[in-house]
Amino acid sequence: MPKINLHTRRLLASRDLRLALISLDEWNIVDINGPDHLSYLQSQVTIDVTTLLDNQHVITAHCNSKGKICTTIRLFHRGNGLAYITRRNMTKTQLNILKNYSVFSKTNIITDKNAVLLGIAGDQSRYILETIFKHIPNSISPVVQSEENILLWFGEPAERFLLITTKERAAIIRNTLKIKAQLYDSAQWLALEIEAGLPIIDSCTSFQFLPQEANLQELHAISFNKGCYIGQEIIARTKFHNANKRSLYWLTGTAERIPEAGDSLETKIRNHWRHIGTVLAACQIGKSTISIQAILRNNLPENTALRLLSDDTSRLLIQYLPYKLYSKI
């Protein structure tokens, strides 16, 4: 995927963004087409692909036979087939798994190396996009396709857009917005994904968690009515036996360093710090606030004291997600 170099600058929470143009170099887009592409993908991911409308995009998971998430993907229609957005560091691994059985079906799976992905966020984002594009997506129609462009709408943590376009068109947009917008690298989009409670599964946390543990049931990213898919038996059993003991959380606070995916988190039990969960993603917001996405034990009180492993200076608190956890209902 061509890179549009934007600035590395101090990240902001969604409420503080005015107009941001964000390079999404840490994500890739993959196309799936061919006569059997719908039925093939239906056997691979957790949502019912046959119900996906032309103007929708959805998050879903691609799992292994044990029901553990390989990675999450953002799926939508593109041209005569489907496309999805996934983390760059997981693309090769996930494609190899996805292609394992595609030789038995008429399905083409190709990374689009020519597309450019850009994020547009902030409370002025809709206004500025209306000066560039004729049609803008919204909550009713979250996907708009026109010529060489696709725009995806996101409502959380605040209105934002993901643009899929050509290198030439991306350069024009960058030049149009560079005076009005703050330019960010992909870390700013990651910060918004964390705040929105959308699970980030990277190479070091892949194949560790069930979809329910990453809140994909709350995000309507699992179908329990479709036919078989890889990992379906264990995922269904977890739901119907009420066996899930973990959830995805958003934490903020302070620490000596920005944690990395796979780092351990602790809580205090009877005056001793004990392991309670795993970091999926993290970044620094503003001057000193650490924002973390983590999978922890279910039903933790909101005032639970948390810290990074063996970091005596670390103080982390649970923040509200923009959706309810089933375990708390």
Per-residue pLDDT of the chain (329 residues; tens, 9 = 90+): 665 555 567 999 999 999 999 999 999 999 999 999 999 999 999 999 999 999 999 999 999 999 999 999 999 999 999 999 999 999 999 999 998 878 788 999 999 999 999 999 999 999 999 999 999 999 999 999 987 899 999 999 999 999 999 999 999 999 988 888 999 999 999 999 999 999 999 999 999 999 999 999 999 999 999 989 999 999 999 999 999 999 999 999 999 999 999 999 999 888 889 999 999 999 999 999 999 999 999 999 989 989 999 898 999 999 999 998 865 43
Which CATH topology does 245-322 take? Elongation Factor Tu (Ef-tu); domain 3 (2.40.30)
Q: Is the dihedral of CA 299, 302, 305, 309 positive or negative?
A: positive
Sheet holding 182-184, edge to edge: 143-146, 149-154, 160-165, 116-121, 20-23, 182-184
Tell me the two tokens of residue 304. Answer: 């639970």
The pLDDT assigned to 102 comes to: 80
Using CA atoms, how far apart are residues 84 and 72, in angstroms rounded to an integer?
10
> CA 166, 171, 177, 182 torsion: positive or negative?
positive
Residue range(s) occupied by CATH 2.40.30.160 in the chain: 245-322
Looking at residue 329, what is its pLDDT? 35
Q: Are 250 and 282 in contact (CB under 8 A)?
A: no
Q: Is 250 annotated as a binding residue?
A: no
Q: Count Cβ neighbours within 10 Å for each residue of 22-38 and write b for 16 or more, e otherwise.
A: bbbbbbbbbbbbeebbb
Comparing CA positions, the residue from 91, 81, 107, 89 lying closest to residue 29 is 91
What local confidence, expressed as pLDDT, does residue 8 receive?
65
Region(s) of the chain under CATH 3.30.1360.120: 14-196
What is the domain class of 14-196 according to CATH? alpha beta
182 CB-side CA count, 13 A: 19
What is the per-residue pLDDT for 95?
92
Distances (CA, A) of 19 to 103, 134, 195: 45, 19, 17
- pLDDT for position 326: 65
